[in-house]
Structure 1
C-alpha cells in the first residue's frame, strides 16, 4: 500500500476515535449540543479521508503523488480549522465564524483537488 494511502487511513482513524470519544462524552453528560461536530468529524474526518485513502490505494502508481499529498494536507488543515471552531460556535461564541468559513473553503478545495486526482487517474490508460 502506498504511503499516501496509509497517511489518509491513519488520519481517518484518528478522526474516528475523536468522533467516537465525543459521542461517548455527549452520551455521558446528556448534552448533545455538539452533535453537529460529532457528525462532521465522522463524515469529513473518518469517512471522507478513508474513502480518499481507498482511492489512492487502488490507483497505486497511477495516482498523482504531489496532488495526493496536497489533497491530504488541504483536507486535514480544513478539518483542523473548521471542526474546533464549529464547536466553539455551537457553544455560543460567534467571533470565530469568519475563520471557520476559511476552514470550510479549504475543505471544499480539498474535495476539488481530489476530483482533479480522480480525473487524472481516469484519463490514464489502465495498467494490466
Structure 2
C-alpha cells in the first residue's frame, strides 16, 4: 500500500475510533446534543477518508493532487468538528470556523472528484 493510501486510512481509523468512543460516552450519559458533530466525524472523517484511501490504493494514483486532497480533507475534519461541537454547545462565535471547515472538506472532495474524473483517460477497457 502506498503512503498516501496509508495516510488516508490512518486518519480515517483515528476518526472512527474517536467517533465510537464519543458515541459510547454520549450513550452512557443519555445526552445526544452533540450527535450531529459525532455523525459528521464518522461520515467525513471515517467514511470519506477511507473511501478516498481505497481509491488511491486501487488506482495507484496520488502525487501532489492526492496529497492536496489528503491535506484539505483532513484539515476540513480538524477544523469543522471541534467548531461544530462549540456551536452545538451554544457558542455562536464558532459558526465561521464551521463554515471554514466545511469549505475545506468540500475543496478536498472537489480535488478528489477531479482526480477520479481525470483517471478515466488512463482506464483500461473491461
Shared fold (TM-score, shorter chain, > 0.5)? yes
Provide Cα deviations, 1:30-87, integer angstroms capped at 9, x if missing partner: 1100111111011000100000000000001xx1411000000000001100100001
Structure 1 gaps, min length 5: none
After superposition, residues 1-128 of structure 1 pair within 5 angstroms as: 1-60=1-60, 63-126=61-124
Structure 1 stretches (4+) deviating beyond 3 angstroms? none
- The structural deviation recorded for 1:126 is 2.8
In the aligned structure 2, how far is the partner of 1:125 from the partner of 1:40?
32
What CA RMSD, in Å, does the superposition of the two structures yield over aligned residues? 1.2
Structure 2 gaps, min length 5: none
* Number of residue pairs matched by the alignment: 125
Contact preservation (8 Å) 1:64, 1:121 = no
TM-score (norm 1): 0.94
- The structural deviation recorded for 1:23 is 0.1
In the aligned structure 1, how far is the partner of 2:123 from the partner of 2:51?
22
